Amino acid sequence: MLQTIRNAFKVKDLRGRFLYVLLMLVVIRFGSNLPIPGVNSGYFGDLFNKMANNDAFGWFNTMTGGSFEQLSIFALSITPYITSSIIIQLLTVAIPALEEMQKDGEEGRKKMTMYTRWMTIGLALIESLAMAVGFGGNGLLIGFAEAGVIRKLADIMICVVAMTAGSALLMWIGEQITDKGIGNGISLVLLFNILSSIPQDFMTLYERFLMGKSVAAMVVYAILIVAVLLVLVGFTVVLQAAERRIPVQYSRRVQGRGLVGGQQSQIPLKVNTANVMPVIFASSLLTMPVIIGQILKVDYGTVAGKILLTLNSGSWCKPDAPIYSIGLLIYILLLYFFAYFYTSISFNPLEVANNMKKQGGFIPGIRPGKPTSDYLDGILTYIIFIGATGLLIIALVPIIVSGVFNVGRISFMGTSLLIIVGVVIETLKSIDSQMIVRNYKGFLEN
């Protein structure tokens, strides 16, 4: 990785692209600490500290790089864009017109991008308006309770416009990094937000495991922490890169006056076919009722409160309350379900088999058409299970550590680690491809 970056800096054009990305990241951190006018920037921080098992908000705050807790203009970050992208992707499967548009080359992709942008703005408006109206009178907006109607409307408008504009600006920055930087703009914005929380995470680990211990104990704990992190990172890299390659043979056929075909190729099926989406879907489904319950101040001594504690990952794996770990079993089942569900809507074995048949391709030993589709579907069934199990292992480690040792959320583990490794790998591939293109250009010019 370091060698790739070092080589990239030797190329003038790529060096300029790197500097452009760094400049954009500085703008992001500046906006993440720029408060919204008339808003109590410590409101959510105080609110979360008062809530029991506030892990439900931890993931969202990590995605925003701490901007949500500080209530800066980037409080919503790029989460509306991510949500709208997922919604558009799901609608593409359900609505034939969108599916045709997606296949309509560059023009279709431009329209899909436009729809995603408009949906991002709409979601940002809805989320910011819900926050301003729902929390405005409870201390979020300074002087809101005593203000007149016009002043209240003005305060709400300022809050909504600031957060919506901030989300739109981050979306634009992400697209600019893709076009003028090193690619993967939105992913790099998300990666930078997650990485910005790492210093605080290491401080948390230090206070929990090292502070106040003897030198020998500190060394042992430090070695164990580093070893666990290295194993997790290595396992995540292997999981993200692992794939099953299906051999494909193309038959020779007459085209014009000559023979074409007779080539061999492969269909690479990723072991982690759904990437990080099953974890996000499962976590979001369980987190939503917990957030609503905490906003409505549900009493945790009631039956409804006990159910919410069961769904809250902050209550799992605690030795003094093992009953709440039932929610962990629900989480595991949801993760496997969404792994199969997301793969089923993103990869169509029948379509792949039909395309192979049209091009004269076949899998050795398997007849073209429906038998090929069934063969691919069977391989996917156990590949998805292996990938989902790998995701589960990565997701469980921070949950178990948090519950058993009462550490709290570590933002660079679990889902965040999957995102970090995935974005880094894709970015390095993008840099390599850009270097190869420039090498070819230089060769042709000479």
Average pLDDT of adjacent 10-residue blocks, the chain of 446 residues: 70 84 91 88 74 62 82 89 86 82 80 92 92 81 81 90 94 91 86 85 83 88 90 91 88 57 79 86 82 75 86 84 90 93 86 84 86 91 93 89 77 80 84 71 50
CATH architecture of residue range(s) 1-197: Orthogonal Bundle (1.10)
Question: CB count, 10 Å around CB of 216?
Answer: 8
Cα separation values, 220 from 198, 226, 229, 246, 407, Å: 21, 10, 14, 45, 18
pLDDT for res 444: 47
Contact 44, 163 (CB under 8 A): no
Neighbours of 212 (CB within 10 A): 8
Given strand 264-270, what is the order of strands in its sheet?
264-270, 243-250, 361-362
Nearest C-alpha neighbor of 265 from the set 380, 387, 346, 360: 360
The DSSP letter of residue 210 is: I
The phi and psi torsions of 278 (rounded to 5 degrees) equal -60, -40
Contact 412, 183 (CB under 8 A): no
Alpha-carbon gap, residue 329 to 318, rounded angstroms? 14
Closest to 324 in 3D by CA, of 53, 118, 13, 32: 53
Query: Element (H or E) spanning 272, and its range?
Result: none
Instruction: Quote the CA–CA distance of 339 and 331 in Å, as a whole number.
Output: 12
Q: pLDDT by residue (tens digit) across 112-131?
A: 889 999 999 999 999 899 88
Which pLDDT does position 227 carry in this prediction?
92
pTM above 0.85, yes or no: no
- Identify the pLDDT of residue 357: 83
**Who's near 408: CB < 8 A, 6+ residues apart?**
55, 58, 204, 402
SS3 361: strand
Map residue 251 onto helix, strand or coil. coil
Residues 4-24: tens digit of each pLDDT: 677 777 777 888 888 999 999
